[in-house]
Chain A
């Protein structure tokens, strides 16, 4: 144990009605373990099973993340791991866990009864030497993730909260399951999982039939069913034990090390964890096989487990950061910012003044249109562009390639308390969720007691108060409430250019792909969305603000392109929609996303359309609405109009091709560490 005597190791016991009345041994047998679906009875999923067993054999692998569609026995396998594990047990971290239960917290019972502050350990203590399992790990709230990351890295849980200061060991095998539909993990968290397996359902008819048969057999008699598989489970247990014994004997040769390093290098993995995990996995594989040497097949197999979630695209620009061992958040975010400051493309300056040059390919409906309307031009390679008839009429483009959206670094600007439950932005909250920031004197009925603060408030009066046999006397005036912080979803209004110019060269397809990607991102962050398109003479609200990202996507799919570009009208409509919504809900955190190349040829009044757009842009910015401009300009010669508009609106500026997250799962990156907006 730790030198800090305050940390008492105490077995948690289950309650109802009184915790302390219950015999300690009962609670350990928490949910009826023996009646779980047997690990060995799960059909197929060999890779998943193997990944889990490898971790039992060699906990140094550092856990596994199972990602896959719903209904593929992910959780069933993990939860039944107890049946084949010999010493380790599965400690579950439910999504409803509060921070105090995860890290450990002040022991209310003891403190009140004994008058002495004492520590009650949490899940991280329970998990020490065991398996920490998080189901739906991608839905876990950010502050819990942060505490786990810290502990997973150091193996020690240091508690500094509510007036308690202590530490204890917490070394665990981290196992997570998730459905990627609900969002991904940020790379730092991802990296904490030693290995990664993608789970899918079986496509084999006979296997599928057997799956149904076993499941039904299990449901009609869990105990009997489990009994039938007991011998097989016992056999597997012995195999694991055997391999555990052999593990220390497995030797690692120089050539194997070299091979590993080469493979990892080839995969462009960040940090050195990939190598370590691969070696540990290969050792476990060899031990399972009863060998004392690691062979090439082991390394190859280990790579399949250890690399998928660490692999990166080859970096385009040589980012010669010394050695990104622990890619820290700040560093990642720095990289993130780069494109905003400077547009690597040098064309913009030269191109800005010569829209005339670009008339080569005129969309046929532009007789009346000023030149800015057209957009296609001398592209590097001459491609045949039939100015086909479809451009005269409205056309509906398919949705193009979608991708994971990079972190857009949106921040709450004011300090108002917002009620909501999105994931994008941290704000103060009244609801009883989120991170405990500080305590305050309650204004209404108390439901979220800040016990430490309450005790502190009561302390000075103890000598003069009636205590009724209790060590501490607490009066209502001592009570303090917790002030918490959590994320609020934002309200995002997309203003999409659907004019004729967007119809050319499948550009709208790309735009639709990008907007769908943004919508997916919005869905995962629980934002509310609205959709406005502008084309021909006016802007149209395709979808009023809704939670239904699904509907937004449908609207977008059916969105036709064609006609002039009334940019100012689009912006104005977006502004109006947001203002309207703000009237209903003042806590709203509005974001306007303009998807356009900035070219405009239709004004609201008689004036220069572009300066009109800029004017409205300024008004939007002055109203405190955050804006993002997604520049769709893909032409060889860049006019940079969208960038100009963005500057004018104080908007974040992205080129459409910059939207995709550069590293695999950076979409959901920690916003709290983002640099200022």
Chain B
């Protein structure tokens, strides 16, 4: 069948608004830190992530660069491109679409970080670095299905590069480092075991999905799926306009994002929420503001509102509430609302 490669259209997914929102926000602003989608089997988690590929924007990259460096962003270039940039060399620019790069659970460490090309070394007597999955993932989405089943040492190396946006390799006679800034998207079924808190914290946001409970919508889900299986091309054609609309909205939001402003009261909200809820470190505050800015941009607005903050808090906070590996944080959302209202109304008074 020729239409085998057609993925289920993103806009054809029924319900799961929170998950879809989280994914779109990450596409708009790759600095949000990715998303972890938790939920039972058969809740369109993987479908949604794979469907995202069709919505991803094209962007400029250096031709021939294994890491797809942005010719205008020296801060995140690989050493090759950077030296060229600094010596005022010119880049051959090309446009490529952002990709979803899969990290299979069975991947070995050398495949993930990259390693020495042994065959080449022996046959030619020269060392060659064989880039791994993290190299491919630079400036793309790194997708880990069943992320909770990932081998521990892979999680460790993943954490390392997710944190710094740089993959440093010191193995098998290879010593190298290259940019590895990716949007980490993970899906997992909590029944299979949980995720290490350290990795959990690396995800900018967490979304819990549950199956659709409403009978009418369930039927719709089934109908859509059957229709898709039956004739993928015809089914996805139905959504061509929707997909195009969404793509344009994302592009618009991307352009708008640098113009989005936030007031001092928004900062205060974020900081206050984190203090009152006693979250670890400062990542939550920063993520909250960035997410709220992206939400505003997606709405086509240039100022962050309390409502945006609330939406952001819902995405950013739930997984950061635990203090020890086991202690369960009670996520008290009414508290968050209360703080947002307090700070929000204080501002209104001031005006």
| Partner-B contacts on A (CB < 8 A) | 12, 14-20, 26-27, 29-32, 35, 69-73, 75, 79, 92-98, 100-102, 105, 107-109, 112-113, 120, 122-123, 135-136, 139, 141, 179, 181-182, 201-203, 205, 208-209, 211-213, 215-216, 219-220, 222-223, 421-422, 431-433, 446-447, 449, 470-471, 474, 516, 519-520, 523, 526, 546-551, 553-554
Kindly list chain A residues whose C-beta atoms are within 8 Å of the C-beta of B328: 554
Most central of A95, A179, A216, A447 by chain B CB within 10 Å: A95
Knowing A14-B177, A105-B173, the reply to whether A547 touches B153 (Cβ < 8 A) is no
Do residues A136 and B179 form an inter-chain contact, with CB atoms below 8 A? no
Do residues A212 and B122 form an inter-chain contact, with CB atoms below 8 A? no
Give the distance in Å from the alpha carbon of A232 to the alpha carbon of B194 in the complex.
44
Kindly list chain B residues whose C-beta atoms are within 8 Å of the C-beta of A96: 109, 113, 153, 156-157, 160, 168-171
- Nearest CB in chain A: distance from B203 CB, A: 12
Kindly list chain A residues whose C-beta atoms are within 8 Å of the C-beta of B286: 211-212, 215-216
Do residues A29 and B82 form an inter-chain contact, with CB atoms below 8 A? yes
Do residues A182 and B198 form an inter-chain contact, with CB atoms below 8 A? yes
Q: Is B40 an interface residue (CB 8 A)?
A: no
- Nearest CB in chain A: distance from B183 CB, A: 15
Most central of B151, B267, B324 by chain A CB within 10 Å: B267
Do residues A212 and B267 form an inter-chain contact, with CB atoms below 8 A? yes
| Partner-A contacts on B (CB < 8 A) | 31, 66, 74-80, 82-83, 108-110, 113, 116, 118, 121-122, 125-129, 131, 151-153, 156-157, 159-160, 163-164, 166, 168-179, 192-194, 196-198, 201, 258, 264, 267-268, 270-272, 274-275, 280-286, 289-290, 324-326, 328
Do residues A449 and B118 form an inter-chain contact, with CB atoms below 8 A? yes
Give the distance in Å from the alpha carbon of A398 to the alpha carbon of B275 in the complex.
27
Do residues B289 and A216 form an inter-chain contact, with CB atoms below 8 A? yes
Do residues B267 and A549 form an inter-chain contact, with CB atoms below 8 A? no
Kindly list chain B residues whose C-beta atoms are within 8 Å of the C-beta of A15: 127-129, 174, 176
Chain A residue with minimal CB distance to B131? A16
Kindly list chain B residues whose C-beta atoms are within 8 Å of the C-beta of A123: 170, 175
Kindly list chain A residues whose C-beta atoms are within 8 Å of the C-beta of B175: 12, 14, 101, 123
- Nearest CB in chain A: distance from B168 CB, A: 4
Chain B residue with minimal CB distance to A454? B122
Kindly list chain B residues whose C-beta atoms are within 8 Å of the C-beta of A71: 201, 280-284
17 more A-B residue pairs beyond the given contacts A72-B282, A92-B168, with a C-beta to C-beta distance below 8 A:
A17-B66, A17-B129, A31-B177, A70-B280, A94-B157, A94-B168, A100-B173, A101-B174, A108-B121, A113-B126, A209-B267, A212-B286, A216-B290, A421-B153, A433-B153, A523-B325, A526-B152
Knowing A26-B83, A31-B179, A212-B286, the reply to whether A101 touches B172 (Cβ < 8 A) is yes
Give the distance in Å from the alpha carbon of A100 to the alpha carbon of B82 in the complex.
29
Kindly list chain B residues whose C-beta atoms are within 8 Å of the C-beta of A27: 79
Interchain Cβ contacts under 8 Å between A and B, 23 examples = A15-B127, A17-B128, A19-B128, A29-B83, A35-B76, A71-B201, A71-B281, A71-B283, A73-B282, A96-B109, A96-B171, A100-B173, A109-B121, A139-B156, A208-B274, A208-B275, A209-B271, A211-B286, A212-B282, A216-B289, A216-B290, A449-B122, A549-B325
Do residues A75 and B163 form an inter-chain contact, with CB atoms below 8 A? yes
Kindly list chain B residues whose C-beta atoms are within 8 Å of the C-beta of A20: 126-127
- Nearest CB in chain A: distance from B276 CB, A: 10
Give the distance in Å from the alpha carbon of A98 to the alpha carbon of B153 in the complex.
12
Do residues B177 and A70 form an inter-chain contact, with CB atoms below 8 A? no
Do residues A201 and B282 form an inter-chain contact, with CB atoms below 8 A? yes
Give the distance in Å from the alpha carbon of A471 to the alpha carbon of B124 in the complex.
11
Give the distance in Å from the alpha carbon of A523 to the alpha carbon of B197 in the complex.
11
Chain B residue with minimal CB distance to A222? B75
Kindly list chain A residues whose C-beta atoms are within 8 Å of the C-beta of B174: 15, 19, 101
Kindly list chain A residues whose C-beta atoms are within 8 Å of the C-beta of B179: 31
Give the distance in Å from the alpha carbon of A216 to the alpha carbon of B151 in the complex.
33
- Nearest CB in chain B: distance from A162 CB, A: 11
Minimum-distance CB pairs A-B, first 9: A71-B281, A71-B283, A15-B129, A208-B271, A35-B75, A112-B125, A69-B280, A97-B170, A98-B171
Do residues A201 and B280 form an inter-chain contact, with CB atoms below 8 A? yes
Knowing A208-B275, A550-B194, the reply to whether A470 touches B125 (Cβ < 8 A) is yes
Do residues B169 and A94 form an inter-chain contact, with CB atoms below 8 A? yes
Do residues B170 and A16 form an inter-chain contact, with CB atoms below 8 A? no
Give the distance in Å from the alpha carbon of A120 to the alpha carbon of B286 in the complex.
43
Do residues A93 and B170 form an inter-chain contact, with CB atoms below 8 A? yes
Kindly list chain B residues whose C-beta atoms are within 8 Å of the C-beta of A31: 79, 166, 168, 177, 179
- Nearest CB in chain A: distance from B182 CB, A: 16
Do residues A16 and B176 form an inter-chain contact, with CB atoms below 8 A? yes
Give the distance in Å from the alpha carbon of A71 to the alpha carbon of B164 in the complex.
12
Give the distance in Å from the alpha carbon of A431 to the alpha carbon of B109 in the complex.
9
- Nearest CB in chain B: distance from A453 CB, A: 13
Kindly list chain B residues whose C-beta atoms are within 8 Å of the C-beta of A135: 160, 163
Do residues A520 and B127 form an inter-chain contact, with CB atoms below 8 A? no
Chain A residue with minimal CB distance to B327? A553
Chain B residue with minimal CB distance to A202? B282
Give the distance in Å from the alpha carbon of A203 to the alpha carbon of B328 in the complex.
21
Residue in A32, A73, A431, A551 whose beta carbon sits within 8 Å of that of B77 in the complex: A32
Give the distance in Å from the alpha carbon of A520 to the alpha carbon of B160 in the complex.
23
Do residues B268 and A205 form an inter-chain contact, with CB atoms below 8 A? yes
Do residues B282 and A208 form an inter-chain contact, with CB atoms below 8 A? yes
Give the distance in Å from the alpha carbon of A669 to the alpha carbon of B197 in the complex.
23
Chain A residue with minimal CB distance to B202? A70
Kindly list chain A residues whose C-beta atoms are within 8 Å of the C-beta of B168: 31, 92, 94, 96
Chain B residue with minimal CB distance to A112? B125
Do residues A548 and B290 form an inter-chain contact, with CB atoms below 8 A? no
Kindly list chain B residues whose C-beta atoms are within 8 Å of the C-beta of A105: 173
Give the distance in Å from the alpha carbon of A108 to the alpha carbon of B82 in the complex.
28
Knowing A181-B198, A182-B196, A431-B108, the reply to whether A16 touches B78 (Cβ < 8 A) is yes
Kindly list chain A residues whose C-beta atoms are within 8 Å of the C-beta of B31: 219
Kindly list chain B residues whose C-beta atoms are within 8 Å of the C-beta of A120: 173
Chain B residue with minimal CB distance to A519? B326
Do residues A220 and B258 form an inter-chain contact, with CB atoms below 8 A? yes
Residue in A202, A421, A549 whose beta carbon sits within 8 Å of that of B152 in the complex: A421
Knowing A16-B129, A212-B285, the reply to whether A95 touches B160 (Cβ < 8 A) is yes
Kindly list chain A residues whose C-beta atoms are within 8 Å of the C-beta of B170: 93-94, 96-98, 101-102, 122-123
Give the distance in Å from the alpha carbon of A638 to the alpha carbon of B78 in the complex.
68
Chain A residue with minimal CB distance to B272? A205
Residue in B129, B178, B280 whose beta carbon sits within 8 Å of that of A19 in the complex: B129
- Nearest CB in chain B: distance from A159 CB, A: 14
Kindly list chain B residues whose C-beta atoms are within 8 Å of the C-beta of A113: 125-126
Do residues A101 and B173 form an inter-chain contact, with CB atoms below 8 A? yes
Chain B residue with minimal CB distance to A15? B129
- Nearest CB in chain B: distance from A192 CB, A: 20
Give the distance in Å from the alpha carbon of A220 to the alpha carbon of B113 in the complex.
28
Kindly list chain B residues whose C-beta atoms are within 8 Å of the C-beta of A35: 74-76
Give the distance in Å from the alpha carbon of A18 to the alpha carbon of B258 in the complex.
39
Residue in A215, A219, A447, A553 whose beta carbon sits within 8 Å of that of B326 in the complex: A553
Kindly list chain A residues whose C-beta atoms are within 8 Å of the C-beta of B121: 108-109, 112
- Nearest CB in chain A: distance from B18 CB, A: 23
Chain B residue with minimal CB distance to A94? B168
Do residues A100 and B271 form an inter-chain contact, with CB atoms below 8 A? no
Do residues A205 and B197 form an inter-chain contact, with CB atoms below 8 A? no
Give the distance in Å from the alpha carbon of A431 to the alpha carbon of B110 in the complex.
11
Give the distance in Å from the alpha carbon of A314 to the alpha carbon of B113 in the complex.
46
Kindly list chain B residues whose C-beta atoms are within 8 Å of the C-beta of A69: 280-281
Kindly list chain A residues whose C-beta atoms are within 8 Å of the C-beta of B108: 431-432, 447
- Nearest CB in chain A: distance from B148 CB, A: 8
Kindly list chain A residues whose C-beta atoms are within 8 Å of the C-beta of B156: 95-96, 136, 139
Residue in A12, A97, A548 whose beta carbon sits within 8 Å of that of B171 in the complex: A97
Do residues B326 and A549 form an inter-chain contact, with CB atoms below 8 A? yes
